[in-house]
Structure 1
């Protein structure tokens, strides 16, 4: 009998309302270590709200969240960070007038004897970026002098300072050129190889097919399909996104073949 490990993060029947409007209804989702799960859906499908639920910005009204198989409560962003969940939003939330080091440690500066330890922060920044990218940018130049791809790398690097196990990425390649997109996708691929579970929000089906292991589709605030990206066609996934096909599985089955072998 093959026993599969529990998902790092699981959502069971999650609902979220804003006033009388139900934005998410009975959402099921599972994210495993060492995988990239693409979260797809048209505008207004509930993707951003779901990220806010997971990151603690907008706690769920109903349902449960599990971390490594045990129920947890995520009511604030700090509780998500304490679990090991980091989020990189589409706007990156970086300060263009500050340098790379200052952006990485903004709000969590290292101090020694009451003074900022600039040497230690620069050393840690260099070590982290050398792990993530082939071309380390100028650490002391203003962030606005960097390319869009380099700024995305800095935002991801900042999210990794706390050694998270789950990384939520909101449209990480939006508005990037081909070369910069390739660099960011390579970075995400390396993070998966290091065992992180990555939830990737994207409208770019090319990125999804190139990088994701599985895809979860939301439509009108509900699950509308789970797909193994390697065996599902782009047309099948797009049909689920647009509503041309209705596919609402009761559970987000993961590696069905393995599950069948386990049950045999």
Structure 2
């Protein structure tokens, strides 16, 4: 492993966020490397989505530090995060049924030639991204309203690849999907890892987590409460950290993956 490979794509140190008297996050640490899927799990209100919004520039921490590629950064806006290689898919997907796949991929950042929108270049790029993701979407010109729920999620994931990101944050990507569509989306998550990206997967579904994650990070009441090797950790150990059956604190499995 080279020195560059040991540097996380993103590292969060001592992140704290308060909303009035409510402590949403307290002294939270998280790191993600290239070619790694890190699952962020915890009960409702554990702070998972708040942490995702910190990485995505939607919210700013009250205390702590964020590093990208080993450099301390400020993420005052989603645009700033995107410029540094962070792309996020939130649960609402933010897609438009009346547009086709290509138009959804480039919504708000359309390519232009000298005099007009460059539809040909956007479609060519959309086809390339769908191939990279190994998507089953039949055509880059298919209207979104004709796609299944799993294919819509694939469009949202494919949109993150426009602009060559380094870090992808997926917030409950399989939350409302059937078993077949879930399997399709999990294949896309694995493909993102194969492409060399760092992936943060927020999920309530432990089967999904164990299927694709390399490491599991547990949040409880806004605090770190466990780090587990997804390949070897037992369901019972992870569940105990989520529910509080073990003391609140930095609980680490015997097969912890070192950062």
Question: Could you say which TM-score interval applies, normalised by the shorter chain?
Answer: over 0.9
Listed as ranges, the matches of 1:26-105 within 5 Å are: 26-105=27-106
Cα deviation, 1:129-170, whole Å, max 9, x if unaligned, reads: 122125233433321210011101100111110111110001
User: 1:262: which partner in 2?
Assistant: none
- Aligned match of 1:168: 169
* Contact residue 56 and residue 74 of structure 1 kept, 8 A: yes
Q: State the Cα distance separating 1:255 from its structure 2 match.
A: 2.6
Instruction: Report the Cα distance in structure 2 between the residues aligned to 1:6 and 1:116, rounded to whole angstroms.
Output: 39
Distance 1:139 1:129 in 2: 8
Give the match's secondary structure for 1:227.
strand
Query: Contact 2:218 / 2:226 at 8 angstroms: preserved in 1?
Result: yes
Structure 1: runs of 5 or more not aligned? 260-264
Instruction: State the match for 2:125 in structure 1.
Output: 124
CA distance, structure 2, for counterparts of residue 249 and residue 70 of structure 1: 25
SS at match of 1:110: coil
- Residue segments in structure 2 that go unaligned for 5+ positions in a row: none
Is residue 254 of structure 2 the alignment partner of residue 255 of structure 1?
no
TM-score by length of 2: 0.93
Q: Structure 1 length as normaliser, TM-score?
A: 0.92
Worse-superposed segment, 49-58 or 69-78: 69-78
Residue 250 (structure 1) shift: 8.6
- Whether 1:15 and 2:16 are equivalent positions in the alignment is yes
**Distance in 2 between residues matched to 1:8 and 1:192, nearest whole Å:** 13
The answer to whether the Cα contact below 8 Å between 1:28 and 1:251 also exists between their aligned partners in 2 is no
Alignment deviations for residues 206-263 of structure 1 (CA, whole Å, 9 cap, x no partner): 011111011111111111111111121011001111111125229999634xx8xxxx
Counterpart Cα distance in 1 of 2:100 and 2:135: 19
Q: Aligned in 2, Cα 1:86/1:251: closer, same or farther, shift over 3 Å?
A: farther
Contact kept in structure 2, 1:152 and 1:172, CA below 8 Å: yes
2 CA distance for matches of 1:185 and 1:28? 25
Q: How does 1:97-246 map to 2 (within 5 A)?
A: 97-246=98-247
**1:96-120 deviation line (CA, Å, top 9, x unaligned):** 1111111111111111123111111
DSSP 3-state at the match of 2:6: coil
In the alignment of these two chains, the number of paired residues is 257
8 Å Cα contact 1:130/1:136 also seen in 2: no
Q: Is the contact between residue 150 and residue 177 of structure 2 (CA under 8 Å) also seen in structure 1?
A: yes
Q: Is the partner of 1:116 in helix, strand or coil?
A: coil
Counterpart-to-counterpart distance in 2, 1:142 and 1:235: 43
Q: Within 1, Cα distance between the matches of 2:2 and 2:127?
A: 42
